[in-house]
Amino acid sequence: MKIYTKTGDTGTTGLYGGKRVLKDDIRIEAYGSVDELNSFIGLLNTTFHEATQNYFLTEVQKRLFTIGSNLASDPEKK
């Protein structure tokens, strides 16, 4: 199945806010890594059954979501 965005692939990707950056920009690499870590923590969280462990990992995930959203946003826009 092919997906068409109708913008072509110019080697860039869009940040939240509209700014375009190269796909190999360190910002893209960083929020991809944060997203992978967050995913792993979510999986890890399913293996614990103690409330304090679940609470702690959930709080870490919330902070990682905030970090990821900041990395995915145009730093020049509020």
pLDDT in tens, the chain (78 residues): 887 777 667 888 889 988 899 999 999 999 999 999 999 999 999 998 899 999 999 999 999 999 999 999 988 887
Are 13 and 23 spatial neighbours (Cβ–Cβ below 8 Å)? yes
What gap in Å lies between CA 58 and CA 41, rounded to an integer? 8
In this prediction, residue 3 carries a pLDDT of 76
Half-sphere CA count of 35, side-chain side, radius 13 A? 11
Q: Tell me the pTM.
A: 0.78
What class has domain 12-71? mainly alpha
**Residue 31: CB partners within 8 Å, gap ≥ 6?**
67, 68, 71, 72
